[in-house]
Amino acid sequence: MLSRENVIKIMSELKYDKNEYWVTGGTALVMYGVKEQTKDIDLGFTEKLYEELIKQKDCIINLLDGNVRQISIQNTNIEFIDNWYTDEIKMIEGIPVASLESIKKKKQELGREKDLKDIEAIDEYLEKETK
């Protein structure tokens, strides 16, 4: 499992243009402090970065349900997923992170049990932040 500090360290070593990707999913929740840990690093990406990634030998491309492209970098916990769009990006510790609102919206669309738990955690976090 990866803590916030682990995520920051791994992300600081990424050599991609920060305008071409953003942290999302459970990883973003760790960056905001909504969750303590995550099992992998979820990143959204632009088409420009996709074109760069597919040229790399250490990238594995999977086509998920709904023609969603998922790119994993071998021997890492990093996954790029192309359907994780965001309305706003916030820089946290120099890392581009999707807004909580966009993460919540995507998790509502997915509707898996783990996503419903994350939505509850996001709501609790936002409630505390507004007090």
What does the pLDDT profile of the chain (131 residues) look like in tens digits? 999 999 999 999 999 999 999 999 999 999 999 999 999 999 999 999 999 999 998 999 998 887 789 999 999 999 999 877 888 999 999 999 999 999 999 999 989 999 999 999 999 999 998 87
* 22-48 per-position pLDDT tens digit: 999 999 999 999 999 999 999 999 999
Provide the residue type at 57 as one letter.
K
Longest Cα separation, the chain: 49
pTM: 0.91
What DSSP assignment string belongs to the chain?
-EEHHHHHHHHHT--S-TTSEEE-HHHHHHHHTSSSEESSEEEEE-HHHHHHHTT-TTEEEEEEGGGEEEEEETTSSEEEETT---S-EEEETTEEEE-HHHHHHHHHHH--HHHHHHHHHHHHHHHHHT-
What's the pLDDT score for residue 14?
93
What's the pLDDT score for residue 38?
96
CATH of domain 2-119: 3.30.460.40
What's the pLDDT score for residue 73?
92
